[in-house]
Structure 1
Amino acid sequence: MAKKQERKTWLQRLGLWLLRLSGWKPVFNLPDTPKFIAIGYPHTSNWDFFPALFWGWASGLPFKWIGKKELFPPVFGRVMLWLGGIPVDRQHSRGFVGQVADYLKKLDRGVVVIAPDGTRKRAPYWRTGFYYMALEAGVPIVLGYINYKTREVGAGDWFIPSGDLEADFARIRAFYEEKGMGLYPKNHSPIEPKPRSVTVVPGEAGAEVGE
């Protein structure tokens, strides 16, 4: 028997309408799991925010983002939490990666979105924190993308991290070489993991936000 399709919420309908209005095609190739890490790439312009936001609404998924705890002061911090923020303490013994992995383990349903290049400008490499978060928490990594040439935005593929960083990055690289196209292609960051000589050990204190 076919699974009954759930009725879309008003926010999903609004998101789909805004995507159509602005000329974007949403892509929803998502794992059948209640929670996962989602990569946001390429991110070369502030204009990326709008199609990404509309896609998030259209998906019906509870999206979360990460910020240092200083961004969550009393009163205003409640607003940040309501907007999906996850406060992390960079001095915590579990470090940035460990704290987010712990959060994912406790989460019933949701998506943690991370931009691994950490900037709209060209970076020399990707930070690998997102990979180790997913590996430790045992959740899939979704390859979220935006393509200004084809006007597509969304989730094009996903995989379970194997623990072989180089092999998994080769898969990620192959996907984005075909799918990703930022508004400013010259600002695409090379899809290479952070060099081993400067990689922060997962769970160590002092890991950077975005690491």
Structure 2
Amino acid sequence: MKGIARFILYTILGWKMENDFPKEHKKYVVIAAPHTSWQDFPIAILARMSSGTMVNFIGKNSLFKGPFGFFFRGLGGTPVDRTKNNNLVDAIVDIFNSKEEFKLGLSPEGTRKKVEKWKTGFYYIAKGANVPIVMATLDFENKIIKISKPYFTTDDKEKDFKFFYAYYENIKGKNPHLS
């Protein structure tokens, strides 16, 4: 599968990958931004498959219903009910703590729409599970997927978020007006 994914991503679609997912850490949170199109998902899955690194994801409940539920679960997805007020951060921290190896990919925007401010769940998951954050981009303008080195959060949330936002500063998503 790795070879097929590489062929599709690099040869057919013309993408390049700068760096790879870190191999020295068995657990981390991957944040991918900007998330502006449905096309982000298949490109991200191909990048993950090309690298041979399993990165799980969560998605809205409706994606996992009907005929496509098995497909998204097979790709490493877990449904979440965003209409209920449940403590998703604690639940995901428990998953990290129960596994020897676990990587979770999230969109810090939480949607494909334009947002003024990112959601903070990914940050509190990383802090609670004591795992680093790896930043990933899908730069559609240049067809480059960038993966950062692991970043361990500090006790200064404002400083950490400035660092995150700076990493994504000039990245153009599929729909730049939504970035």
Report the TM-score range of the alignment, normalised by the length of the smaller protein: 0.7 to 0.9
- For structure 1, which runs of at least 5 residues remain unmatched after alignment? 1-10, 189-211
Specify whether residues 168 and 66 from structure 1 end up closer, same or farther in structure 2 by C-alpha distance, changes over 3 A only: same
Amino acid in structure 2 at the alignment position of 1:30: F
Q: Corresponding residue for 2:178?
A: 187
SS of aligned partner of 2:39: helix
Q: State the AA in 2 paired with 1:171.
A: F
CA contact (8 A) 2:57 2:106 kept: yes
Per-residue deviation at 1:26?
1.5
TM-aligned CA deviation for residue 80 of structure 1:
4.6
Q: How far off is 1:157 after superposition? A: 3.4
Q: Which amino acid aligns with 1:183?
A: K
Identify unmatched segments of 5+ residues in structure 2: none
Identity %, equivalent residues: 33
**Secondary structure at the counterpart of residue 46 of structure 1:** coil
Deviation at 1:43, TM superposition (A): 1.1
In 2, the alpha carbon distance for the partners of 1:46 and 1:67 equals: 13
Contact 2:132 2:151 in 1 (8 A): yes
CA distance in 2 between counterparts of 1:116 and 1:16 reads 26
Taking the TM superposition and a 5 Å limit, the aligned residue runs for 1:136-155 are 136-155=128-147
Deviates most, 117-126 or 152-161:
152-161
The reply to whether residue 118 of structure 1 matches residue 96 of structure 2 is: no
TM-score (norm 2): 0.85
One-letter amino acid of the structure 1 residue matched with residue 5 of structure 2? G
Q: How many residues align?
A: 175
Q: For 1:59-70, list aligned pairs within 5 A.
A: 59-67=51-59
Say whether residues 1:23 and 2:21 are aligned partners: no
| Corresponding letter in the other structure for 2:136 | G
Change (3 A) 1:59 1:126: same
Name 2:101's counterpart in structure 1: 109
Alignment-derived partner of residue 36 in structure 2: 44
Tell me how far apart the structure 1 counterparts of residues 10 and 74 of structure 2 sit (CA, whole Å).
Answer: 27
Question: For residues 91 and 184 of structure 1, do their structure 2 counterparts lie closer, same or farther at Cα, with a shift above 3 Å needed?
Answer: closer
Q: TM-score, normalised by structure 1?
A: 0.73
Superposition pairs of residues 61-210 of structure 1, within 5 angstroms: 61-67=53-59, 80-88=72-80, 90=84, 92=86, 95-178=87-170, 180-188=171-179
**CA-atom RMSD in angstroms:** 2.4
Decide which structure has the larger Cα Rg and report it: 1
CA contact (8 A) 1:39 1:114 kept: yes
Give the Cα–Cα distance (whole angstroms) in 2 for the partners of residues 62 and 163 of structure 1. Answer: 29
User: Which deviates more from structure 2 when the two are superposed, residues 150-159 or residues 32-41?
Assistant: 150-159
Name the CA distance, whole Å, in 2 between partners of 1:88 and 1:59. 26
Q: Counterpart of 1:181 in structure 2: which amino acid?
A: K
Which amino acid counterpart does residue 102 of structure 1 have in structure 2? Answer: D
Alpha-carbon distance in 2 for matches of 1:19, 1:71:
24
CA spacing shift, 1:17–1:121, aligned 2, 3 Å: same
SS in 2 for 1:158: coil
Q: Deviations over 1:133-188 (max 9, x none)?
A: 0000011100010112221014133301113110001111111114x211221111
Q: 1:102 Cα deviation (Å)?
A: 0.8
- How far off is 1:16 after superposition? 1.4
